[in-house]
Amino acid sequence: MLVGIEEDGAYSPGMVSDRDKATIAALARRYGAASVWLFGSNADGRRRGRDLDLAVEGVAPARFFQFVGDLMLSLSQPVDVVALEKRSKLGTLIRRDGIPIYGQPAREG
């Protein structure tokens, strides 16, 4: 089952398979992530994206690329990952418009 498919088959924001969500959560726990957000075209409903755009906070910089590599090898579709900085314009936009898919993130206003 895909999160983001309505009963009538229409696409809605947040298109991530249950398997991919479970994989993201398991890897986020393993690498100590505080939260993971879905953003971009798969989150805002403009169109179904070809990849998952994820923002992550809390992974140590020394382990970030290993985390990204494990996501790339484990998910069913391509993934782009950014480190979510506390005080950045991108971070503010992601926290405002993105979909939290792991952790208990604090939204910025």
CB of 37 within 8 A of CB of 93? no
What confidence tens digit (pLDDT) does each residue in 34-92 have? 999 999 888 876 656 678 999 999 999 999 999 999 999 999 999 999 998 778 899 98
Res 43: pLDDT: 81
What is the rounded CA–CA span in Å between residue 70 and residue 16? 17
Global pTM value? 0.80
CB of 33 within 8 A of CB of 55? no
Structural domains of the chain ordered from first start:
2-103 (3.30.460.10)
Residue type, 70: D
Highest mean pLDDT among 7-11, 44-48, 91-95: 91-95
CB of 3 within 8 A of CB of 71? no
> Is the model more confident about 87 or about 25?
25
pLDDT at 7 over 70: no
> Is the model more confident about 17 or about 8?
17
Confidence band for 15, pLDDT divided at 50, 70 and 90: confident
Bridge partners (DSSP) of residue 2 are 17
